[in-house]
Amino acid sequence: MEEFELARAGAAALAVAASLDLPADDAVVLFNSNKVALRLEPCDVLARVTRAGHGGEARLELDRALSLAGAGCPVGAALPGVAPLVHEEAGFVVTLWTYHDTAACPVTADAYAAALGQLHAGMRTADLTSPRFTDRIAEAQQVVADPALSPDLAQEDRALLTSRLAALRQTILEFDAPEQLLHGEPHPGNVLGTRQGPVFIDFETLCRGPVEFDLAHAPEEVCEHYPGINRELLDLCRQLVLAMVASWRWDVGDEFPNRQYWRRALLHALRERLPWPSPDLPMPTVVYQAQDKAVKAGSRASASR
């Protein structure tokens, strides 16, 4: 969200908390993109807030979290003691979740890998429908193919993204690897450290595909602890994720902070065929989390603003 919207989003979350008799008079921004995550204080509740019109997506995320929890997956839980509802307030959609102090529970690479393996095992038994990972590729291809969706994208760069997305899609499919339900974006920004171990959040991106597609979003040291990986397929999936993220940064509706920098950096990485992660370019999770620098630690969106 834009900076000017954060105070209004925080006020909406606080209003929802007040309607449920939760003691909250301040909202601290934890994560800001198209959706904002807020820590409501002093009740220590996590509020996820997006603009009006996204109630269906919020309901889907809640339902998926409940289903995955029932399948034994390590997932972030909806707020206990409160009905798992989608709240609409002052032009925003608000859902409430359990807050975890992640600073007190650092996530190690081996614990991350074990939790991701547990998530994948539970997902193999979960009764959830989802698109295939190729549908997510198609979303990126649509942005690149339509100048109305990516008006600032130069023709040379459009050609690069078009060819790279198509080639990587075809090569990955030729592996004919086993496919299953995946998180879709299990980068560190979607992993929370808890006293019970790491849990995953944000289930809007569920899709079906090879586990290497999920692992392409995780740090290399995590992948080293995940058994049975096809390393060649993982490298291709990393390049695919790089191309997809680069494409989305050119979407006219994208609100990623400092996106002008990331547009150029990601295209440079693709053009030079840089490995990801590399000393020259952070891995996908850092791209997702870079916005934390744009939203200063402890910035507040209180009802008084």
Please tell me the predicted confidence (pLDDT) of residue 294. Answer: 30
Instruction: For residue 43, name the pLDDT band (cuts at 50, 70, 90).
Output: very high
CA 125 – CA 9 distance, rounded (Å): 36
Please tell me the predicted confidence (pLDDT) of residue 35. Answer: 83
Instruction: For residue 282, name the pLDDT band (cuts at 50, 70, 90).
Output: low
Amino acid letter at 153?
L
- 200 and 183 in contact (C-beta within 8 Å)? yes
Query: pLDDT tens digits for 174-199?
Result: 999 999 999 999 998 889 899 899 99
Instruction: For residue 40, name the pLDDT band (cuts at 50, 70, 90).
Output: very high
In sequence order, what E strands does the chain have? Answer: 24-32, 36-42, 45-51, 87-89, 92-98, 180-182, 191-192, 199-200, 207-209
DSSP three-state, residue 304: coil
Query: pLDDT tens digits for 64-109?
Result: 999 999 999 999 988 988 999 999 999 999 999 999 888 889 999 9
What residue ranges define each of the domains in the chain, with the CATH number in brackets? 3-98 (3.30.200.20), 109-272 (3.90.1200.10)
In this prediction, residues 207-224 reach a mean pLDDT of 96
Q: Which residues of 148-161 are buried (b: 16+ CB within 10 A; e: fewer)?
A: ebbeebeeebbebb
Q: Which residues pair with 92 in a beta bridge?
A: 51, 89
